[in-house]
Amino acid sequence: MKAIRLEEPRRLALFSADEPGPSLKPHEALVRVRRIGVCGTDIHAFNGNQPFFSYPRILGHELGVVVTAVGSSSENVHPGDQCSVEPYLNCGHCIACRSGKPNCCVSLQVLGVHIDGGMRESIVVPARKLHPSTHLQLDQLALIETLAIGCHAVDRARVEAGEFALVVGVGPIGLTVVQFAIEAGAQVIVLDINPKRLEFCREKLGAPFAINAAVENPLEALKRITAGDLPTVVFDATGNPKSMMEAYSYLANGGRLAFVGLFQGEITFNDPEFHRRELTVLSSRNARSQDFTRIIGLVESGRIDTDSWITHRGSFAEVITEFPRWTRPETGVLKAMIEV
């Protein structure tokens, strides 16, 4: 079968891989990959700055698939089902898994990051990691995983209706945080330097406030919007250390700061100021199975509309030439979708 592998930073290669074995373990399912969303993780890996990553690696963890075969004990899906894939393969018995936090399993393996992912024609996955829908299209199913990142981050920060929530960096992951902060009833403020992304948040997602940090002082704008109080919850989805450290200054006393993006390095903050304001700092990693179930229901019901998210498309054969262009913000990419 055809597959695409990231051999080293900035070098993708198309090659012929072995077909998955004919026999499945009882808990497994064989799926035909039909859609692959390009994620910030894929772009970071392509550029050589993704943590927890080694080369060579088959990318791809935002997947819309069709089940072709199932193992003897796989009862949640059947051949022909269209599914979203939950790409977080957890052990099920470590302290995190026992605590209901499989998204940060001690030995977690994420498809396309720690082990080879779905940028190939077929793949075997645990059947329990498949989330079927009889209503959603393959494009929509491939977007469930990226939406789940924002869903989990908003849940983790315990966003409340009516509070001011700031999202710093509205790339693909930041957009999902905006989506679910609005769903939670927050007064959402978006902060970025890309006017097209800010416009998307206002017009497509309904964010009431937008700040272009390239043309106005963020702190002054935040004070104006919040009548001097500042946001009580701030999400940083940039993965940029300078932005992450500046995010502390945007937060109200007693507020919560959630880091959704990450980078390879360290961040610092002033400890007396951190204590004086009694701030809470959180990280948010991946998502949980219940997030996938919830999001599929929201998209099926029309509460979340993903039609405008996909700005670029390419066939499997075009990935080698198109992928470098998708990594450049100036091309206007929000979400690129690969059709297999």
Q: Is the pLDDT of residue 197 over 90?
A: yes
* pLDDT, averaged across the chain: 96
**Residue range(s) in the chain whose domain bears CATH number 3.40.50.720:** 158-283
CATH fold label, 2-148+286-339 = Quinone Oxidoreductase; Chain A, domain 1 (3.90.180)
CATH number of 158-283: 3.40.50.720
% of the chain at pLDDT higher than 90: 91
Report the pLDDT value the prediction gives residue 76, as an integer from 0 to 100.
94
Mean pLDDT (whole number) for 329-336: 88
- Tens of pLDDT along 129-141? 999 999 999 999 9
**Residue range(s) in the chain whose domain bears CATH number 3.90.180.10:** 2-148+286-339
Strands 109-110 and 122-126: unpaired
Mean pLDDT (whole number) for 104-112: 97
- Tens of pLDDT along 264-311? 899 999 999 999 999 999 999 999 999 999 999 999 999 999 989 999
d(CA 237, CA 146): 13
How would you label 234-261 residue by residue, b for 16+ Cβ within 10 Å and e otherwise? Answer: bbbbbbeeebbebbbebbbeebbbbbbb
pLDDT interval class at 47 (50, 70, 90): very high
Report the pLDDT value the prediction gives residue 51, as an integer from 0 to 100.
85
Mean pLDDT (whole number) for 167-195: 96
Report the pLDDT value the prediction gives residue 324, as an integer from 0 to 100.
95
